[in-house]
Structure 1
Amino acid sequence: MTVAPAPTAMAEIESLKRDISASEKRAPKSAGSNKSSISLNLLNASQRTIIINNIAIDIVTHVSAFICRAL
């Protein structure tokens, strides 16, 4: 049985990706900037908390599913 992430979590992640893209476009470009590397520092505290919580929920969900299959 495969456990998929919650649709609301996926929608939130997509929204954050759009926010990051928009902030990268507004940010001044430096000679050594690498656009492909996205850091959590670009996000505000509540966005970081949401991402970390969603990752934790996914981990707990997958571990729970693994334990249930083992039983």
Structure 2
Amino acid sequence: MPLRVVGISVLILLLLMTKLRPNGFAALLLVAVGVGVVRGIPLERIPDVCRRSGPRCPPTGSGRSDRGSAAASTR
């Protein structure tokens, strides 16, 4: 059943992108919400699920930037 849902959702996404031509992110979000509902996530919980599964990258500015430092140290 899950593989069938994924296959149908990909076909719906392709149909949306080729025929209706909405914004790509909006189409993907719409299909993802539909898959969540089909898989049993209640509509009122979908915003919580989206917030929990957001990007897990560190905040900007917290990492080192070594770009160009190797070239500068060899001169």
Query: TM-score, normalised on structure 2?
Result: 0.35
- Whichever of the two has the greater Rg, that structure is 2
RCO comparison, higher one (Cα < 8 Å, 6+): 1
Query: TM-score, normalised on structure 1?
Result: 0.37
